[in-house]
């Protein structure tokens, strides 16, 4: 056929084929993983969202030697630039219609390499712990809200000064101690504290595995202070007085 005669048409066809191949490669999804201590019904095909919009899906879930679940996800290629080293995948709708919400707290954080492992939060409590551990010290408002606002938030000094940040850490420790003592005084509070300790342990393990031992140690120290405050709290359960023997 005359259409294929000569080198120019052949080169044109090759260029079109190459361009199509390049477009196909650019559109390939990007893949990441994250560990969760509780996957709670999450499975392949469940959505990955960002600000409520679907940007990808779960592709696989496999157990880890430590007992957690490694969740693999794929995201639309156009969202690859939004995935950072400190990005968190947060489990939402656990047990009913589960999905993962991608949160990237710091846009200036380095872009995550494809195939890397992100942080995985099994619930809102773990997400708050990650935000507090990975970002500036904002523990006061975070933990006060977490413990049902049992103590009003303390005024936070302006960031940027080491002295002021140390003052904020001192306020945070006092808040943790007061909240811990108050919650541990009831069976419901004890259960809440147990759940929090489990969440903190899961977050600490991930901080360690991501090469952030200082942040893991800081979190561990704060939890130990909470445990100490809870142990020092008086027992409010009333024990019946012994009835004198006639």
Domain holding 40, by residue range, is: 28-122
- Number of domains observed in the structure of the chain: 2
Q: One digit per residue, pLDDT tens: the chain, 246 residues?
A: 444 455 555 455 555 545 544 444 457 999 999 999 998 889 999 999 998 899 999 999 999 888 899 999 999 999 999 999 999 999 998 778 899 999 988 888 899 999 999 999 999 888 888 888 886 544 444 444 455 444 444 444 334 334 544 554 555 555 555 555 555 566 666 777 788 889 999 999 999 999 999 999 988 888 887 777 665 443 333 333 344 444
Question: Are residues 229 and 136 part of one domain?
Answer: yes
Among residues 189, 207, 192, 202, the alpha carbon closest in space to that of 40 is found at 202
- For the residues of 29-91, what is the DSSP string, one character each? PEEEEEEES--TT--TT-EEEETTEEEEEEEEEEE-TTS-EEEEEEE-GGGGGG-BTT-EEEE
Last residue of a domain, one of 98, 122, 146: 122
In the chain, what percentage of residues exceed pLDDT 90? 37
17, part of any domain:
no
The model's pLDDT over 161-183, given as tens digits with 9 standing for 90+, comes to 345 445 545 555 555 555 555 55
1, part of any domain:
no
pTM score? 0.66
Question: Are residues 146 and 114 part of one domain?
Answer: no
Question: Are residues 127 and 77 part of one domain?
Answer: no
């Amino acid at each position: 056929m005359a259409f294929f005669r000569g080198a120019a048409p052949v080169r044109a066809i090759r260029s079109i084929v190459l361009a199509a191949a390049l477009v196909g490669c650019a559109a390939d999804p990007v893949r990441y993983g994250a560990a969760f201590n509780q996957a709670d019904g999450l499975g392949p095909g469940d959505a990955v969202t960002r600000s409520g919009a679907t940007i990808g899906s779960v592709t696989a879930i496999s157990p880890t030697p430590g007992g957690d679940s490694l969740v693999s996800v794929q995201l639309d290629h156009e969202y690859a630039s939004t995935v950072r080293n400190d990005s968190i995948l947060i489990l939402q709708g656990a047990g009913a219609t589960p999905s993962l919400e991608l949160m990237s707290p710091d846009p200036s954080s380095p872009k995550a390499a494809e195939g890397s492992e992100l942080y995985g939060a099994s619930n809102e409590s773990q997400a708050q712990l990650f935000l507090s551990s990975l970002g500036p010290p904002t523990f006061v408002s975070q933990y006060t809200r977490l413990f049902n606002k049992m103590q009003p938030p303390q005024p936070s000094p302006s960031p940027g000064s080491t002295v002021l940040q140390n003052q904020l850490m001192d306020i945070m420790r006092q808040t943790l101690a007061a909240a811990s003592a108050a919650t541990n005084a009831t069976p419901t509070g004890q259960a809440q504290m147990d759940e929090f300790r489990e969440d903190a342990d899961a977050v600490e393990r991930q901080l360690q595995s991501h090469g952030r031992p200082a942040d893991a140690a800081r979190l561990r120290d704060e939890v130990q202070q909470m445990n100490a405050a809870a142990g020092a709290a008086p027992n409010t359960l009333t024990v019946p007085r012994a009835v004198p023997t006639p």
